Amino acid sequence: MSKVILITGASRGFGRIWAEAFLKRGDHVIATARNLEALSGLTAEFGDRVLPLRLDVTDREACFQAINAAVAHFGHIDVLINNAGIGLFGAVEESSEQEARAQMETNFFGVLWLTQAVLPVMRQQGSGHIIQVSSVLGLVTVPVLGVYNASKFAVEGLSASLAAEVKSLGINVSIVEPNAYTTDWSTSADKSQAISAYQPVKDVMWASFTTPGYFGEPSATTPAIFKLVDAAEPPLRLLLGKVGYPIVKQEYEARLNNFEDWLEVSEAAHGNQQGA
């Protein structure tokens, strides 16, 4: 059976690729973007199976209005894909207040507002699937993307807690964690005003982008997203790409080793109070 799927940030990148793929296989899509004109091609090709909506995900009231419009048009929502997001290249010291707040407003609060808006609908339905597009950088960190890392770590924590809250209500939650892909994310990301002291670490970071096979092919993610949406028991987390897993495995093994090296100190910090 066809599904009704709401995708934010559908004007480009993963959002556009997935919106077109769902429509081509017969699903119905609510496609949102800040610029409605960017969605005109979808309307021209797929007609009334797509509902284009102008949406700034940082506007909480607008997020609720978008959900209401989607339900009024299609009657229900099976899947919400929180895909809208922005990037920021800059060392932590370099990042301005405005840049940092913009990251959290879009990447975290935008996710929170759409999630809160769709939950009453899915609770009433007794079913639904919320898919949060995070990043491998929501699991591991790299220099020069610290504020972006923070926004995605926040999405991870929110979504894992949410999953435990809504599972008994018939609602599934999944976190999608892509590694780097050849979308326009890196070129469209903001860049903080540079401080020369951080140039050496930036040079190392930029050099990693030239590693053969570092970037995945965006269209290759479509079968994985189909499987995730169609799964009877979808996973909480899904890595996309072949670069992410070894990086995450190495990071988590290092964390465990660190905890074990300092375990005696950690346990002593508990104190000796009996019955506590």
Tens digits of per-residue pLDDT, 11-41?
999 999 999 999 999 999 999 999 999 999 9
pLDDT digits (tens, 9 = 90+) for 119-153: 999 999 999 999 999 999 999 999 999 999 999 99
What is the predicted pLDDT for the residue at 275?
63
> How far apart are the C-alpha atoms of 25 and 188, rounded to whole Å?
30
Residue among 216, 263, 258 nearest 240 (CA): 216
> How far apart are the C-alpha atoms of 6 and 18, rounded to whole Å?
11
Contact 112, 36 (CB under 8 A): no
Q: One-letter amino acid identity for 223? A: P
CA distances from 58 to 17, 75, 119, 276 (A): 23, 25, 18, 43
CA distances from 50 to 112, 117, 219 (A): 24, 20, 20
| Domains contained in the chain, CATH given | 4-243 (3.40.50.720)
Neighbour-count burial of 232, counting CB atoms closer than 10 A to its CB (0-12 exposed, 13-18 middle, 19+ buried): exposed
What is the predicted pLDDT for the residue at 23?
98
Identify the sign of the CA torsion 96, 100, 106, 112: negative
Contact 106, 84 (CB under 8 A): yes
> How far apart are the C-alpha atoms of 205 and 91, rounded to whole Å?
11
Q: Once rounded to an integer, what is the mean pLDDT over residues 93-111?
A: 98
Q: What residues are labeled active site?
A: 134, 148, 152
Taking residue 213's Cβ as centre, other Cβ atoms within 10 Å add up to: 8
* 228 contact partners, CB below 8 Å, separation of at least 6: 131, 174, 176, 234, 235, 238
DSSP letter at 109 equals I
> How far apart are the C-alpha atoms of 107 and 43, rounded to whole Å?
27
What is the predicted pLDDT for the residue at 188?
85
pLDDT digits (tens, 9 = 90+) for 175-227: 999 999 999 887 889 999 999 999 999 999 888 888 888 899 999 999 999 99
What is the predicted pLDDT for the residue at 261?
98
> How far apart are the C-alpha atoms of 65 and 171, rounded to whole Å?
21
> How far apart are the C-alpha atoms of 141 and 180, rounded to whole Å?
13
What is the predicted pLDDT for the residue at 86?
96
The answer, yes or no, to whether residue 276 has pLDDT greater than 70, is: no
DSSP letter at 220 equals G
DSSP letter at 147 equals H
Q: Once rounded to an integer, what is the mean pLDDT over residues 52-71?
A: 98
The percent of residues above 90 in pLDDT, for the chain, comes to 92
Contact 116, 41 (CB under 8 A): no
